[in-house]
Amino acid sequence: MIEVEDLIGLVRAYNPNTDAGLIRAAYAFGLEAHEGQFRSSGEPYFTHPIEVAALLTEVKLDDATIITALLHDTIEDTGASYKEVAEKFGEEIAGLVDGVTKLTNLELSSVETAQAENFRKLLLAMSKDVRVLLVKLADRLHNMRTIKHMRPEKQRKKAHETMEIYAPLAGRVGMQYIREELEDLCFAVLNPEARNSIMRRFLTLRAETGDLIPVIIEDIKTALAKCDVEAQVTGREKRPYSIWRKMEETGHGFHRLSDIYGFRIITKSERDAYVALGAVHQRWKAIPGRFKDYISQPKTNGYRSIQTTVSGRDAKRVEVQIRTREMHIVAESGVAAHWSYRNGERFANPFAVDPFHWLRGLIDGFESAENPNEYLEHVKLEMFQDQVFCFTPKGAVINLPRGATPIDFAYAIHTRIGDSCVGAKIDGKRVPLWTRLRNGQSVNIIRAESQRPQPSWEDMVVTGRAKSAIRRSLREENKAAHIRLGTEIARVALGKIGKKATDKALATAAKNMGIASKDELLAQIGTTQITGNDLAMALYPELLKKTDVKADKTTTEVVGLKPGQSHIAAKCCQPLPGERIVGIMVRGRGVVVHTIDCDALVEYENDQDSWIDLRWTEGMSEADHFTTLEIIMANDAGVLGRICTLIGEHNANIADIHFTERKPDFYRILIDLQVRDVEHLMHIRTAIEADPDIASVVRHRNPTADR
């Protein structure tokens, strides 16, 4: 365990004016508070807060953050209170400790809706003081380093949460070294075989070629010396997870990946950085498309660097980053650069960005999302994707995720511009709206006030803001159509239990279901967020139960049963009068009637004693036999309404409608029907197939439905 004086020494190395007495007091307070507590490894629990504090000294953070690290689990895991911490160490530190405690208590890997809401709370907590996040990231890094002592299922849960939330957060606030290590530690938990495979290939490569890193470093130093550039040059192998991700993205095997080495040139000035770039490109051949100048166009987290890939010694591709010392500090520590020290004094790094700016942007994004899941999608898209920088015709810079299209660009300027977008010009040339933007392009959006977002746009865009705006506009545009369709579904659903879909009934159902209005209820039914069965259950649950009991029974007589024997129709094949049938005696259920070609009968092949020869009685039956049609239909207004009308005209009832697949051009739906017999069903199928907007109509079977 790190002793208090050793910890103070780490702080004093960059901040000679540190309040050593306050750090000693916090150390003693934490040690006493965690007395008798142990980690999964068997070590005293207080070793963890000390290691977290030591990690934060690596990015030269202030006394308040170091002390917060020492105390970050006291309010949560010990008898210490906020008031006690505030009295001993001040309101600033107590507030930071409380913020970290709240982050720790959020179950970020819970179900999706709760996860989205908790993520919003996490961002709100961080927006008050970003140092809360810095402590939490160091806390998670140490926990991941020692994760092997946890149970396997808990390891996987923590690794998933870290990979999905904390690693990209670390990258987005500029702490790349933490992001890379977190990703690699998660990789070791989630896919150990893949990681071990890459490590073995690294060993094989070293055995074949020797250690190339010091050799290439000397080559770079020689090239720089010829240009009179003084610089620090370092190199390393890329982390296994970085290699694995590149293999996944390119589809190449390890042997085809050439840029597995990374080198860094730290210069004294920005001028020297560009001179160094020229020296590298003169010495080695630059790889086309692999040059990025983040000095002239910094990333939103303050990252500045020139990145280039060259064909180096023995034609091995190597990635080279070139930046100044100040840029390097921001590149390594991100927002932590705001608390950096130089020569024992806090100094303002000219390249450090406002640590609250990005967080404010994400929180503002929450306001534009209509539900928590959309918000979480927006946040994840913003965090995971790299950026491109494009220009408006007036020269303003628009930052977008890589893969963004002109539609994303339009919505990034203003929602009104996105909604009215009809075309785009890139560098003066008209291009399709699905074109992927590249760095440095000038984009001019062509608008028409009568234009409205199209359903196909949602598959073209990548930003959460654009997706949210498109969905909201489409919902508003289609609401009237959804209400009409919902009205028809409600009429059918209530009609089958002998009730009418009156305004009073619908208003009562909306109130019972916690929905704002009758129209909103009908719209949700029309978009299948709520089924007709849900509506009936909200109004007449007892009637529905009676109907459901009846639904399993066929009113048409079945010949071949013994007196008193009951039977039900199998849900897997949904037999109809007119089809050849067989009965299977099932304990506890009676006789289950299947069609003779039902795939589920394979299960009973070796149990012939359970089989009963059955047939339907002759004559007309009632329309009370359930079956399901699978329909692929064009995604156009009115198509589903026409289908419902056709079914009604054929004197069949719609029991329910399920959307199983939604695409920009076609929908796949399942419609549960009540029909008389197989001939009745065939007439309905033929009528639906005749509609020009119907791609296919087939009878849906589910062999596992009865299991």
Instruction: Tell me the per-residue pLDDT of 366-399, one tens digit each, with 9 for 90 and over.
Output: 555 555 555 555 555 455 555 677 888 887 778 7
Q: Could you count the other beta carbons within 10 Å of the beta carbon of residue 470? A: 25
Give the confidence band of 505 by pLDDT, cuts at 50, 70, 90: confident
Over the stretch 300-328, which tens digit does the pLDDT of each residue have? Answer: 667 889 999 888 666 677 889 999 998 88
Q: With 0-12 CB in 10 A as exposed, 13-18 as middle and 19+ as buried, what is 682?
A: middle
CA–CA separation, 167 and 164 (whole Å): 7
Can 77 be counted among the known catalytic residues? yes
Task: Judge contact between 62 and 335, C-beta under 8 A.
Answer: no
Each residue's pLDDT tens digit, 88-130: 999 999 988 888 887 776 655 444 444 555 666 666 666 677 7
Task: Please report the pLDDT score of residue 272 as a whole number.
Answer: 95
- pLDDT per residue as tens digits for the range 265-301: 999 999 999 999 999 999 988 888 778 888 888 876 6
pLDDT tops 90 at residue 9: yes
Residues ≥6 apart with Cβ < 8 Å to 192: none
Residues 419-440, mean pLDDT to the nearest whole number: 88
Q: Could you tell me the maximum CA-CA distance found in the chain, to the nearest angstrom?
A: 105
Catalytic option among 43, 62, 73, 76: 76
pLDDT given for residue 76 in this prediction: 77
Checking if the pLDDT of 459 tops 60, the result is yes
When comparing pLDDT for 702 and 143, which is higher? 143
Cα–Cα dist 254/240, whole Å: 11
Are residues 453 and 478 in contact, defined by beta-carbon separation less than 8 angstroms?
Answer: no
- Tokens 């059955």 locate to 614
Average pLDDT over residues 582-586: 90
User: Which residue of the set 5, 43, 62, 77 is catalytic?
Assistant: 77
Q: DSSP assignment, residue 339?
A: G
651 to 162, 499, 684: CA distances (angstroms):
56, 17, 10
Domain annotation for the chain: domains and CATH numbers: 4-190 (1.10.3210.10), 205-346 (3.30.460.10), 385-462 (3.10.20.30), 472-541 (no CATH), 549-616 (no CATH), 625-699 (3.30.70.260)
pLDDT tens column, 615-673: 888 766 676 789 999 999 988 778 888 888 888 888 888 888 888 887 767 888 999 99
